[in-house]
Copies of this chain bind each other. A is one copy, B any other.
């Protein structure tokens, strides 16, 4: 059997592989991106799913439209006004099976082999994996604590003629950084000026611990060049696989044609449950209850870092999201991973987040799915490994 060029030499997404390695007992994992178990709203999920099956069970179990469950699309058209996206009709909304499907469908709709995709350096590792399945040429754009370097972005757009620029504006995975408002507006303008699709991936927005919510890049889009992707994986449940893509009707239509082919539709009951979380007000109550949990875990980690880590290393202190980004000059975090797992702690090494595979002396730490005690003990172990 001969596999396709896109898949024959492709190893799995690193995170999904790491999951298997670290399942041995006693390993404290900072590798995943799992919501805290305590923040999974099991009771309300049960209540709403029962109500929906009671009220309209056949519709929940029957086939539905690829575009999504109509009442939920209407709901989402209004929901995104919270990040400044206005005048949205159902034609602008595609319901997707988790936020990541939005990235896959966008690449399916836009990317030919060898087309250029620009990403932040570093970027969400799954986007690099997805890009490989489309044989895209992914290039990194410089980024620092103040977000993307606009000059480098514009220069690379002119030089490389990318189809897509992918960015996580709020509490970026892996760095935890947030893009300032002025840069959001500038990114939207660059998309319009050069005809580049801005793919704005925003799964973490609601998990803000301090500072104020910022308008999305999409909110500055006047020409349909920004596609906004959101997800309920971090605010309700990742296992339910529900998200939404919001963009120009024509772009949404192309994604829909792709979605017809890949999974026909997103699970109807899960869409309706997400809708009920929103319309009942429970989503916002639940977020308000979850944020302090995450914030205190983040504080536990920054405190443990201050306690155990050498001063020559630097770690981010994000205003939200699930990740802290570490720079550990002189240490190869990929090479040290096996030792770390032996010592009972896991993370994701930096080179998984760079388009060019650099970043070996960096690492991503997740704080959302460990206890305070595990965080303290895990950072202590990690400091030893990195010493």
Q: How far is the CB of A231 from chain B (nearest CB, A)?
A: 11
A240 to B197, CA, bound (A): 32
Report yes or no: B58 in contact with A7, Cβ–Cβ below 8 A: no
Query: Min CB distance, A60 to chain B, in Å?
Result: 6
Report yes or no: A40 in contact with B12, Cβ–Cβ below 8 A.
Answer: no
Which one of B100, B225, B251, B261 lies within 8 Å of A126 (CB-CB)? B261
The answer to whether A158 has its CB under 8 Å from any CB of chain B is no
CB–CB B61/A53 < 8 A: no
* Alpha-carbon distance A258/B237, docked complex (angstroms): 23
Q: How many copies does the complex hold?
A: 2
Interface residue tally of chain A, by bracket? 35 or more
Q: Taking each of A43, A112, A115, which has the highest tally of chain B beta carbons within 10 Å of its own beta carbon? A: A112
Q: CB < 8 Å: which of B3, B65, B267 contacts A110?
A: B3
Least CB distance from A162 to B in Å reads: 11
Instruction: Flag if A197 contacts B1 (CB, 8 Å).
Output: yes
A 231-286 contacts with B by CB, 8 A: 233, 236-241, 251, 254, 256-258, 260-270
Q: Judge whether A256 and B163 touch: CB under 8 Å.
A: no
Q: How far is the CA of A358 from the CA of B16 in the complex (A)?
A: 44
| B-contact 0/1 string along A43-57, CB 8 Å cutoff | 101100110011001
CA distance A66 to B97 in the complex (A): 13
Question: A241's contact among B10, B40, B62, B263, by CB below 8 Å, is which?
Answer: B263
Would you give the 0/1 interface string for A1-42, flagging 1 where the beta carbon is closer than 8 Å to chain B?
111111100111100100100000000000010110100111
Give the CA-CA distance A230 to B126 in the complex, in Å. Answer: 28
A195 within 8 A of B: yes
Residue A92 at the chain B interface, CB threshold 8 Å: no
Besides A16-B260, A63-B233, A267-B267, 14 more A-B contacts (Cβ < 8 Å) are A1-B110, A2-B110, A4-B108, A4-B111, A13-B257, A19-B65, A40-B58, A40-B62, A42-B58, A50-B50, A61-B239, A62-B239, A63-B239, A241-B267
17 A–B pairs (Cβ distance < 8 Å), ordered by A: A1-B197, A3-B109, A5-B112, A7-B109, A16-B264, A46-B54, A61-B239, A62-B237, A64-B239, A97-B97, A97-B241, A98-B263, A100-B261, A101-B262, A126-B260, A239-B268, A241-B266
Q: Which 10 A-B pairs rank lowest in CB-CB distance, beginning with the nearest?
A: A42-B57, A61-B237, A239-B268, A46-B53, A40-B61, A13-B260, A130-B261, A63-B238, A97-B263, A133-B261
